[in-house]
Structure 1
Protein backbone atom coordinates (compact mmCIF):
# COMPACT_ATOMS: atom_id res chain seq x y z
CA UNK A 1 0.00 0.00 0.00
CA UNK A 2 1.41 3.44 -0.92
CA UNK A 3 1.28 6.59 1.17
CA UNK A 4 -0.16 9.94 0.13
CA UNK A 5 3.34 11.45 -0.25
CA UNK A 6 4.36 8.70 -2.67
CA UNK A 7 1.14 9.15 -4.67
CA UNK A 8 1.69 12.89 -5.03
CA UNK A 9 5.33 12.31 -6.02
CA UNK A 10 4.41 10.02 -8.90
CA UNK A 11 1.33 11.97 -9.97
CA UNK A 12 3.49 14.39 -11.99
CA UNK A 13 3.98 13.48 -15.64
CA UNK A 14 7.21 11.74 -16.56
CA UNK A 15 8.52 14.71 -18.57
CA UNK A 16 8.05 17.07 -15.61
CA UNK A 17 10.01 14.72 -13.35
CA UNK A 18 12.67 14.50 -16.07
CA UNK A 19 12.94 18.31 -16.27
CA UNK A 20 13.19 18.55 -12.47
CA UNK A 21 15.96 15.95 -12.53
CA UNK A 22 17.85 17.87 -15.21
CA UNK A 23 17.52 21.10 -13.24
CA UNK A 24 18.90 19.37 -10.15
CA UNK A 25 21.76 17.87 -12.20
CA UNK A 26 22.79 21.24 -13.64
CA UNK A 27 22.25 23.40 -10.53
CA UNK A 28 23.71 21.12 -7.85
CA UNK A 29 27.42 21.92 -8.51
CA UNK A 30 26.76 25.66 -8.22
CA UNK A 31 24.55 25.64 -5.13
CA UNK A 32 27.46 26.11 -2.71
CA UNK A 33 29.00 28.85 -4.85
CA UNK A 34 25.72 30.73 -5.05
CA UNK A 35 25.17 30.40 -1.30
CA UNK A 36 28.67 31.78 -0.64
CA UNK A 37 28.06 34.71 -3.01
CA UNK A 38 24.76 35.48 -1.29
CA UNK A 39 26.46 35.39 2.12
CA UNK A 40 29.23 37.73 0.91
CA UNK A 41 26.63 40.13 -0.47
CA UNK A 42 24.76 40.08 2.84
CA UNK A 43 28.02 40.72 4.73
CA UNK A 44 28.73 43.76 2.55
CA UNK A 45 25.21 45.05 3.10
CA UNK A 46 25.58 44.64 6.87
CA UNK A 47 28.84 46.60 6.69
CA UNK A 48 27.07 49.38 4.82
CA UNK A 49 24.28 49.48 7.38
CA UNK A 50 26.50 49.57 10.45
CA UNK A 51 29.45 51.48 8.94
CA UNK A 52 28.45 54.79 10.49
CA UNK A 53 28.31 53.13 13.91
CA UNK A 54 31.76 51.60 13.33
CA UNK A 55 33.25 55.02 12.52
CA UNK A 56 33.40 54.64 8.74
CA UNK A 57 31.90 57.42 6.63
CA UNK A 58 28.85 56.09 4.87
CA UNK A 59 27.03 58.17 2.25
CA UNK A 60 24.04 55.80 2.37
CA UNK A 61 23.55 56.01 6.15
CA UNK A 62 20.38 58.07 5.76
CA UNK A 63 18.79 55.24 3.78
CA UNK A 64 20.09 52.34 5.84
CA UNK A 65 19.46 53.77 9.31
CA UNK A 66 15.87 52.55 9.49
CA UNK A 67 16.92 49.02 8.43
CA UNK A 68 19.27 48.53 11.39
CA UNK A 69 16.62 47.23 13.82
CA UNK A 70 15.57 44.59 11.29
CA UNK A 71 19.11 43.27 10.85
CA UNK A 72 20.19 43.61 14.47
CA UNK A 73 19.20 40.02 15.27
CA UNK A 74 21.74 38.80 12.65
CA UNK A 75 24.44 41.18 13.89
CA UNK A 76 26.11 38.70 16.26
CA UNK A 77 26.60 36.13 13.50
CA UNK A 78 27.96 38.82 11.20
CA UNK A 79 30.52 40.35 13.56
CA UNK A 80 31.86 36.93 14.59
CA UNK A 81 32.16 35.97 10.90
CA UNK A 82 34.06 39.24 10.29
CA UNK A 83 36.57 38.32 13.01
CA UNK A 84 35.33 40.55 15.84
CA UNK A 85 35.20 38.45 19.00
CA UNK A 86 33.20 41.02 20.94
CA UNK A 87 30.49 43.40 19.80
CA UNK A 88 32.10 46.71 18.72
CA UNK A 89 29.17 48.76 20.06
CA UNK A 90 28.56 49.72 23.66
CA UNK A 91 24.80 50.10 23.18
CA UNK A 92 24.24 46.66 21.59
CA UNK A 93 24.38 43.75 23.99
CA UNK A 94 24.63 40.77 21.68
CA UNK A 95 27.62 39.05 23.34
Structure 2
Protein backbone atom coordinates (compact mmCIF):
# COMPACT_ATOMS: atom_id res chain seq x y z
CA UNK A 1 0.00 0.00 0.00
CA UNK A 2 1.21 3.52 -0.74
CA UNK A 3 1.63 5.74 2.30
CA UNK A 4 -0.13 8.61 0.54
CA UNK A 5 -3.21 6.44 0.06
CA UNK A 6 -3.24 5.27 3.65
CA UNK A 7 -2.64 8.55 5.51
CA UNK A 8 -5.91 10.08 4.32
CA UNK A 9 -7.53 8.69 7.49
CA UNK A 10 -6.74 9.40 11.14
CA UNK A 11 -3.48 7.79 12.24
CA UNK A 12 -0.59 7.76 14.70
CA UNK A 13 2.94 7.72 13.27
CA UNK A 14 5.61 6.67 15.74
CA UNK A 15 8.69 8.68 14.88
CA UNK A 16 11.24 7.22 17.30
CA UNK A 17 11.31 4.25 19.64
CA UNK A 18 13.43 4.42 22.79
CA UNK A 19 13.10 0.67 23.33
CA UNK A 20 11.51 -2.27 21.54
CA UNK A 21 11.26 -5.83 22.84
CA UNK A 22 9.86 -8.98 21.22
CA UNK A 23 9.44 -12.48 22.62
CA UNK A 24 9.86 -14.80 19.63
CA UNK A 25 8.27 -17.73 21.48
CA UNK A 26 5.01 -16.06 22.50
CA UNK A 27 4.88 -13.35 19.81
CA UNK A 28 4.35 -10.62 22.39
CA UNK A 29 6.05 -7.34 21.56
CA UNK A 30 6.10 -3.87 22.95
CA UNK A 31 8.03 -0.70 22.85
CA UNK A 32 8.33 2.72 24.38
CA UNK A 33 8.44 5.65 22.02
CA UNK A 34 9.72 9.17 22.52
CA UNK A 35 7.76 10.91 19.78
CA UNK A 36 4.66 10.17 17.74
CA UNK A 37 2.58 12.30 15.39
CA UNK A 38 -1.20 12.07 15.79
CA UNK A 39 -3.48 13.11 12.92
CA UNK A 40 -7.18 13.40 13.75
CA UNK A 41 -9.69 15.12 11.47
CA UNK A 42 -6.79 16.59 9.49
CA UNK A 43 -5.18 18.24 12.53
CA UNK A 44 -1.69 17.29 13.73
CA UNK A 45 -0.57 17.00 17.34
CA UNK A 46 2.26 15.13 19.01
CA UNK A 47 2.68 12.58 21.79
CA UNK A 48 6.03 12.96 23.57
CA UNK A 49 6.07 9.64 25.35
CA UNK A 50 4.11 6.45 25.17
CA UNK A 51 4.08 2.75 24.48
CA UNK A 52 2.60 0.11 22.21
CA UNK A 53 1.97 -3.55 22.96
CA UNK A 54 0.53 -6.39 20.90
CA UNK A 55 1.04 -9.99 19.83
CA UNK A 56 2.53 -10.54 16.36
CA UNK A 57 0.62 -13.80 15.88
CA UNK A 58 -2.68 -11.99 16.45
CA UNK A 59 -2.01 -9.21 13.94
CA UNK A 60 0.36 -10.69 11.34
CA UNK A 61 -2.38 -11.28 8.76
CA UNK A 62 -3.53 -7.65 9.03
CA UNK A 63 -0.12 -5.97 8.78
CA UNK A 64 0.47 -3.78 5.73
CA UNK A 65 3.88 -2.81 4.40
CA UNK A 66 4.39 0.43 2.48
CA UNK A 67 5.46 0.37 -1.16
CA UNK A 68 7.99 3.05 -0.26
CA UNK A 69 11.27 1.64 0.97
CA UNK A 70 14.37 2.66 2.89
CA UNK A 71 17.78 1.44 1.75
CA UNK A 72 20.44 0.68 4.33
CA UNK A 73 23.95 -0.69 3.95
CA UNK A 74 22.86 -4.32 4.06
CA UNK A 75 19.08 -4.26 3.67
CA UNK A 76 16.04 -2.78 2.02
CA UNK A 77 12.93 -2.45 4.15
CA UNK A 78 9.50 -0.83 3.98
CA UNK A 79 9.38 2.82 5.05
CA UNK A 80 6.35 2.02 7.20
CA UNK A 81 4.60 -0.96 8.71
CA UNK A 82 0.92 -0.20 9.15
CA UNK A 83 -0.85 -1.76 12.12
CA UNK A 84 -4.56 -1.13 12.68
CA UNK A 85 -6.35 -1.38 16.01
CA UNK A 86 -3.38 -1.86 18.31
CA UNK A 87 -3.01 -0.62 21.87
CA UNK A 88 -1.21 2.73 22.13
CA UNK A 89 -0.80 4.68 25.34
CA UNK A 90 0.76 8.10 25.67
CA UNK A 91 0.59 11.63 26.95
Structure number with the bigger relative contact order (C-alpha 8 A, sep ≥ 6) is: 2
TM-score scaled by structure 2? 0.24
For the pair shown, the structure with the greater C-alpha radius of gyration is 1
**Greater share of strand residues, 1 or 2?**
2
**Greater share of helix residues, 1 or 2?**
1
